[in-house]
Amino acid sequence: MAATWDTASLKMMAHYTALEGRAIQNKAIALGRTHEEYLGLTYWTPNINIFRDPRWGRGQETYGEDPFLTAVLGTAFVQGLQGDDPKYLKAAACAKHFAVHSGPELTRHSDNFNTSDYDLWDTYLPAFRALVTKAGVAGVMCAYNAYRTQPCCANDLLMNDILRKQWNFTGYAVSDCWAVADFYGYHKTHPDALHSAVDALLHGTDVECGNRRIKPCLMLQKLVWFRKQIWMRPSAGCL
C-alpha cells in the first residue's frame, strides 16, 4: 500500500474495511456472539513504525522507512476507517507500536533503545503525532521494548509527557500483547506482576492485551485503592 503513494485509494480501502467490519459485528450481535474475539469494531491498525531493520518480521505491515510518507498514509487510513461522523466512529483505529519499535524480532521483548532527541522527533514520532493530533486516532498501542531504560508502556517521556501532555491524547492506550508482563519477565525493571500493573496504569496504559501471567481483571481489583489516593483517569478496561 505504501508503494502506491495514493492516499485517496488507501482511505477508500480503509472505508470499505470498516463497512465490512460493521457487517460482521451486526451478524455477531444477531447471533449473540459479541463476547468473541475479532467480531468487534476496535481494530489494532495501522502499524506506523518506521521499518529500519529487516530482521523485524513485521516490516510488511508498515508503510516503509520514510516518516513523512508513513504519517500521510497513516492519517488517510485512520480517516477512512473511523469516518467523519461527529458522534460515531465507523470503527476505532489504533496507532502502533508506540514507540521506537522495529525489531529485531527475537529480542523485541527485552530491547532497550536509546536514540538522540533529533532521531526520536524526526524519525520515530512524526507519524504518531500526526495520527493523534490531526487524524484523531481512537487508540494507541505501546510497544514491547524499553526506551531509555523504561518499558514503553510505563515510560515517563512517551506515555505521560509526550502522548498525554504535549499531544493531549484523550483516547485509550493499550499494551502490545503481554507487554506489561515483560516488565518483570524480560526487562527486569519491576519485581513482579503487581508492581508492573501499577506502573503501567499510572503511566496511562488503560488496557493490557493478554492474561497469561497477569490475570487482568483480578489485578485491577487489587489496584482499586490507588484511585482513592492518587489522581488517575478512569481506566478503559481491565488491566
Q: CA-CA distance, 26 to 17, in Å (whole number)?
A: 14
Contact 17, 91 (CB under 8 A): yes
| 3-state secondary structure at position 24 | helix
Burial class (CB in 10 A: 0-12, 13-18, 19+), 13: middle
What backbone torsions phi and psi does residue 219 show, to the nearest 5 degrees? -65, -40
176 is catalytic: yes
Determine the angle formed by the axes of helices 67-82 and 126-133, rounding to 10 degrees. 30
Which residues sit opposite 174 in a β-bridge? 141, 207
Active-site annotation holder among 66, 84, 117, 176? 176
- 112 bridge partner residues: 146
What are the angstrom distances between the C-alpha of 112 and each of 58, 133, 196?
19, 27, 17
Nearest to 18 by CA among 43, 35, 38, 1: 43
Among all residues, which ones are annotated catalytic? 176
